[in-house]
Amino acid sequence: MKIEEKVIDCLFGTSLFKGIDKAGIHNMIQCLNPRIHRYKKNESIAIAGEPFYGIGIVIEGEAVIAKENIAGNRAILTVLRQGDMFGEMISFTEKKVWPVNVTAQFDSEIVFVSPENIITRCEKMCDSHQILIQNMLKIMSRKALLLSRKVDYLSIRSLRGRLSAYLIEQWQIQDTSVFSLPMNRDELADFFNVARPSISRELGKMKDEGLIDFHKSSFKILDLEALKKVI
């Protein structure tokens, strides 16, 4: 199976292959046996309830992980961009079915790898594969902590409080006075399980009150202490 150079370049920049050079990735390709799939905009990559078929890594494009509740309301869990991985949290469960929907936001290219191929030492017994296994464990631990963070969001009753916590978190992550939100208004509405006008209205109020300033997806926190008080 011929793997395009751009795929190797992308894998080289991911957390799963951190500490492994491109030569090492090339050497493991035969053991990992990755499968490349291409999807059109709005096409389903994975559907909740269907059989799980491997850990996915976004090589090109963008995808959204979403879940529907019993009433059919859609809530966005994560926006996936180039280099992001999904499916690892269910890869070693007994019941291997997708618990969420994954949909291409734009034309996308995804590489799928069997989790068994990741944790099973290859015949070459190379050091790179040992690093790969360690990276996999670190990623799963990090994701477990992120799930705990989502619970923290749900514990904040007011929309303003959730927005404040989210803005402060993005400001801390990007470490710059003017930062960009990774989700648009519609995605934020799904993420917080509210109507889109509610997001726009609350952000507008926060801007009028001098708490924040924004233009499209660019934001700036003007009164950090006031935001912390409503969380």
pLDDT tens, 85-124? 999 988 888 888 999 999 999 999 999 999 988 887 666 6
Average pLDDT in the chain: 88
CA 198 distance to own-chain centroid: 24
Does 79 score more than 90 pLDDT?
Answer: no
CATH number of the domain at 5-150, out of 2.70.240.10, 1.25.40.10, 2.60.120.10, 3.40.50.150?
A: 2.60.120.10
**Structural domain boundaries in the chain:** 5-150, 156-229
Write the pLDDT tens digit of every residue in 151-196: 787 789 899 999 999 999 999 999 999 999 988 888 788 778 788 8
Is this model's pTM higher than 0.75 or not?
A: no
Say how far apart CA 180 and CA 19 lie, in whole Å.
Answer: 29
Contact 32, 20 (CB under 8 A): no
Contact 85, 56 (CB under 8 A): yes
Higher pLDDT pick, 30 / 16: 16
Say how far apart CA 39 and CA 192 lie, in whole Å.
Answer: 27
Architecture of domain 156-229 in this structure: Orthogonal Bundle (1.10)
Q: Quick one: tokens of 17? A: 């292959």
Low-confidence winner among 1-10, 11-20, 24-33 (lowest mean pLDDT): 1-10
Write the secondary structure of 113-132 as one string of H (helix), E (strand) and C (coil).
ECHHHHHCCCCCCCHHHHHH
Instruction: Report the pLDDT value the prediction gives residue 2, as an integer from 0 to 100.
Output: 55
- Report the pLDDT averaged over residues 124-147: 83
Write the pLDDT tens digit of every residue in 184-229: 888 788 778 788 899 999 999 999 999 999 998 899 999 999 999 9
Contact 191, 76 (CB under 8 A): yes
Instruction: Report the pLDDT value the prediction gives residue 215, as an integer from 0 to 100.
Output: 93
Does 125 score more than 80 pLDDT?
Answer: no
Does 1 score more than 50 pLDDT?
Answer: no
Contact 108, 45 (CB under 8 A): yes
